[in-house]
Structure 1
Amino acid sequence: MDLSRARRLLLPLTAGACAVALAGGCSSGDAQRPESSTQAAAPVSPNDLQDDYRSVIKDVLPSVVQIDAGASLGSGVVYDGDGHIVTNAHVVGEEKTFRVTAATGKEPMAAKLVATYPEQDLAVVRLDSVPEGLKPATFGDSATVDMGHIVLAMGSPLGLSGSVTQGIVSATGRTVSEGRTGGGTGATIGNMVQTSAAINPGNSGGALVNLDGQVIGIPTLAATDPEIGGGAAPGIGFAIPASMVRTVADQIIKDGKVTDSGRAALNITGRTVLDDAYEPAGVAVVEAPANGAAGKAGIRPGDVIVRIGDAAVTTITTLQEALASMKPGDRVSVGYERGGTEAKAEATLGEI
C-alpha cells in the first residue's frame, strides 16, 4: 500500500467497551554496510531470545494498564510513582473519570483526568489513590530507536488485558494523520515509529517496548486497507515516540496543560479549496493575524497556499504534514496564489 493511501486510512486503536469477543481483530538514507570482520559474532540461540522476551514482559507488564473510559477501552502506561498514567487523548475522549486495571490483574482503581493534548493525541490521568508497589515504566531515548530493533507491544487489544505481541521497528520519522472516525482526534503527528508488531483496537495508549525493557513509544494508529474491507493492514502500526510522550506528559503534570508544544505553525485559519476538476488544490487562508507567522510574511486572507518549502500543499492535512517535520523559528518558503498570480514569501514559523 502506498504511503499516501496509508495516511488517509489511519485509525486510532481504541476498542468498544463490549469488544471482548475474538472477532476481526523515516528514516531517510541508506544503511551503512558494516566493515568486515574476521571474527563472527556468536549466534543467539532461540532459548536466549525467549528468555529475553520473558524477562522484558515480567519487568514491564506491571507498568501497563487497561483504561475503561465508559464507551471505549484503551491502554495506558504508569508514568511516575505519584499515580500519573500516560495514554492517548482519543482513549479518554470527553470523559473525566476512569476505571484503571493493572495488566497483571487486581481490582480496578479510580482515576481522574489531568489534561489532554489532542494536537499530539496524548493525555494524562491520575489515580485517586496510589497503590503500594505501583511501578513506573522506564522511557527510552527516541534518538537510539532504529529500523530492525525488536520490539514488544503491550496493552489490551479488544479488551484482552495484558496482551503482548512482537515485531520490529519498520521505520522511524513517519508523519501520519489520524482520522476522526472511531473517536480519533484528527491530529497530524510527526516523527512516529512504525512497527510490525501486531496492534489492534484497545492497544492505544499502551507500550511499545525494546529488549532493554524501555518504552520507546505509545501505540496509537493502525493503517487500514479498503481492498480487504477496511480491515487493519497487517504489520503497519504507528507509535508516538517516547521523547514526545515525555515532553507532553511533563508539562501536563507540572502545569496542567501543554505550555510549549515545540510544534511549528503558520498561525492561520484555512480551508481546503478545489480546482475546476473538483480536486484539492490548496489551502485558502481565512484568517492570518498580523502578529502570526503568515501575517508577518505578508500572507493575507484570500491567498491560497500551494507549497511549503519543497512540499506541495493541496489540503489542510498536507499542510499539517509538511509543518510536522519543522520547528518553531525555522525559516521556510511559502508558495501561494493571489488573484490568479503565483507568489512566494519567506516566513519564520510560529508555534501551535
Structure 2
Amino acid sequence: MDSREPQDPAAHNPGSQNPAANSEPGVEWSAGHAGSAGSPGGDVRSSDPGGDVPTRAVRHAPVSPATAQVFGRPTGVAGSFAPGGGTSERPAPMLAAPDPVLAEAFGRPEGSDEALQRDPLAAYGADEQPEPPADPWRDPDSPAALAGPAVSEPAAPPPSAPGPKLGIREVLLGRRIAWHALATLAVIALLIGVVGGLMGRFTAEVAAPLNSDTVKLSTDGGGSGATQGSPVERVANAVEKSVVSVDVRLANGSATGSGFVINRDGYILTNNHVVSLAASDRTAKLEVVFSDRNRVPARIAGRDPRTDIAVLKVDNVDNLTVAQLGNSTDLRIGQDVVAFGSPLGLDRTVTSGIVSALHRAVPLRPDAESDTDAVIDAIQTDAAINPGNSGGPLVDSDAKVVGINTAGLVPGGGSIGLGFAIPIDEAVPIAQALIRDGKVNHPQIGINASDVRNDRVLGAQVRNVVAGGPAADAGLRENDVIVDFNGRTIESADELTVAVRTAKIGEPVKFTYWRDGRTFEGTMTPASD
C-alpha cells in the first residue's frame, strides 16, 4: 500500500461483500506478493472476476537473482506451502565425516545398541559382575520362605577324670627335691627359730628399762652469758623505752604505726601516712602507747606529705626516754641494724638484719588511707619491716637511730627481706621545721619529667618547663634528658626527684643533660616551692 494514500480497512478485508462501495474513484488497489521467482521486480496487478473493482499498479525495488534464489519459493510452488511430492532445485545438504578425536570421545562404543543414552551407572569397558542372589535375611521386603537349618554348634567334650592332688613338694619345689632333703630343711628352720627366740629373751631381760621414777629434772637459774651479751639484746635494752605505738581509731576504721621520742618536751617522730586518717578526720582518736602500756592522747604538731614525715606532741608525760640520733651518712652496706615497731599491731617487736643498699629512690603514692606523695632516698635493709613498723626507728649497733622505717616490699602479704627507711640526716631538718613552723619548704626546679630508657640515653626526660623557673633559666627545653644532678647519676624521674629534694634552696648545683645526641653541662639554682 502506498503510504501517501489514505488507508481503508476494507481494502485489507477479503470478506467484504461490496468492495466497490468502499473504494475511492480513480484509485487502483493491488494485492499479492512483492514478487516471485517468475516475475522479479515487475508490476503486479490484481484482477477482479467481476471487473467492477479498479486496480492499481504497485512498484517495488528489483530483487536480485541471488536473493530470490535464497528467499523465494521453489519452482512450481505458488502458495505458502509446497504441495506433496514437489521437487526442489536446491542441492541436498551433505554431512561431513566427524573428526576422529570427537568420534572417539563422544561416539558410541563398538557393539553398543542404538539407545540415545548410556546407563550412567555402567562402567565403560569393564565387565559387569552378576548381581549376588537376594538374601531374604537382609531384605525386609522379602516374602517368607523356607531356608536351610541354622549352623549347629559342636557338642562339648565329656569332662575328664580328676587327677591327683598336688602336694607341697610339687607346688613349691616342682618335685625337684627328694623327701629326705625336704625334711632336713624343715629341721634346720626349726632350730633357727628356737635359737632366735632364746637370744631375744636373754637380751630383753638384761636391757635397761625405758621408764623410771627416780629421775629428777633441774634448771639453772643463771642465764647464758652469750645470749645476754649479744649486740641485738644490748641495742634492744637501750632503745625499747623510747619507742611508742601510734594508734588511730575512727568510727569505721583504724590504723596502727610506730614512732620514737626525739625530745623531752614530748615530741615524737613518725611517718605522715601513719597519721593521715587522723589529720583528715577531726573525730579520729589519736593516741600513743609507751612500752609500759601507758596510753596518752597525742596531737599532730606538723606533717609533710612530700617527705612522709610527721611530728606528734604529747603533754604531761614524765620521765620520757629520748632516742639517741645517729648519722646516716656514714652507713655502710653490710652494717648490722635493728628495726623496732609494732608490725601487724604486735607492739614492742624487734627484728635485726643488715644494710642491704643505700640511696634507693622509692616512690610512695597516695591511696585511700594516706595523702603521702613522696619519693624517699631510702636505706634498704633485710631486717623484717611489715605493716605497722612504719615510723619506728632503724638503729645501728651503737643503739643510735639511723633511719625511720617507712616501707616494705610485701607482694605476698609478708616481709621478703626488702625494707626501706628514711635516712635520719634527711629527717632531722624536716622535723625541726615542722616543730618550729608546722610546715616545710622544699626545693624545686620547675619541670615535670618521666623515665626514658633506650639505646641512646638513660635518665629523666623533661616533659614541660615552667616559664621563669630555675630549669628555664638554665636553658633546659622539653625532651632534654637529665643524666646527672648535683653529683648524683640520674637514671629515672624518681631519682631526679630525690636529687632535687636533697639540694638546698638558693644554692647553685651542677647538672648534665643530653640533647639531640650530644651531652651538655649547666648550672641551676633550686627555688622554694
> With structure 1 as the length reference, what TM-score do the two structures score?
0.71
Other-structure match for 1:47 = 227
1:162-184 CA distance string (max 9 Å, x none): 11111112222333222334636
Q: Is the 8 A contact 2:364 2:374 kept in 1?
A: yes
Q: Does 246-255 or 142-151 show the bigger shift? A: 142-151
Question: Aligned partner of 1:236: which letter?
Answer: L
Other-structure match for 2:181 = none
Other-structure match for 2:297 = 110
1:301-320 to structure 2, matched below 5 A, reads 303-309=478-484, 316-317=493-494, 319-320=496-497
Cα drift, residue 332 of structure 1: 0.9
Please identify the structure whose Cα radius of gyration is greater: 2
1:138-217 to structure 2, matched below 5 A, reads 138-181=324-367, 183=370, 185-190=372-377, 192-217=378-403
Cα drift, residue 110 of structure 1: 0.8
Change in 2 beyond 3 A, CA 1:349/1:143: same
- Aligned equivalents of 1:90 and 1:332: distance in 2? 32
Q: Helix, strand or coil: the match of 1:253?
A: helix
- Aligned equivalents of 1:142 and 1:343: distance in 2? 33
Q: Is the 8 A contact 1:306 1:312 kept in 2?
A: no
Q: Is the 8 A contact 1:178 1:184 kept in 2?
A: no
Other-structure match for 1:95 = 278
1:1-352 to structure 2, matched below 5 A, reads 46-47=226-227, 49-50=229-230, 52-70=231-249, 71-96=254-279, 98-106=286-294, 108-127=295-314, 129-181=315-367, 183=370, 185-190=372-377, 192-225=378-411, 230-232=412-414, 234-259=416-441, 261=442, 263=443, 265-268=444-447, 270=448, 272=450, 282-285=461-464, 287-290=465-468, 292-299=469-476, 303-309=478-484, 316-317=493-494, 319-321=496-498, 323=500, 328-335=507-514, 346-352=522-528
- Aligned equivalents of 1:172 and 1:299: distance in 2? 29
Q: Is the 8 A contact 1:296 1:347 kept in 2?
A: no
Cα drift, residue 255 of structure 1: 2.3
- Aligned equivalents of 1:218 and 1:288: distance in 2? 34
Question: Aligned partner of 2:394: which letter?
Answer: L
Cα drift, residue 210 of structure 1: 1.8
Other-structure match for 2:34 = none
Cα drift, residue 83 of structure 1: 0.6
- Aligned equivalents of 1:120 and 1:336: distance in 2? 31
Question: Aligned partner of 1:104: which letter?
Answer: D
Q: Helix, strand or coil: the match of 1:167?
A: strand
Identity of aligned residues (%): 33
Structure 1: runs of 5 or more not aligned: 1-44
Q: Helix, strand or coil: the match of 1:125?
A: strand
Question: Aligned partner of 1:298: which letter?
Answer: G
Q: Is the 8 A contact 1:299 1:345 kept in 2?
A: no
Q: Helix, strand or coil: the match of 1:69?
A: strand
Q: Is the 8 A contact 1:189 1:324 kept in 2?
A: no
Structure 2: runs of 5 or more not aligned: 1-224, 280-284, 454-458
- Aligned equivalents of 2:397 and 2:361: distance in 1? 25
1:19-52 CA distance string (max 9 Å, x none): xxxxxxxxxxxxxxxxxxxxxxxxxx843653x3
Change in 2 beyond 3 A, CA 1:258/1:323: closer
Counting matched residue pairs gives 284
Question: Which is bigger in relative contact order (C-alpha 8 A, separation at least 6)?
Answer: 1
Q: Is the 8 A contact 2:460 2:483 kept in 1?
A: no
Question: Aligned partner of 2:286: which letter?
Answer: F
- Aligned equivalents of 1:271 and 1:134: distance in 2? 45
Other-structure match for 1:10 = none
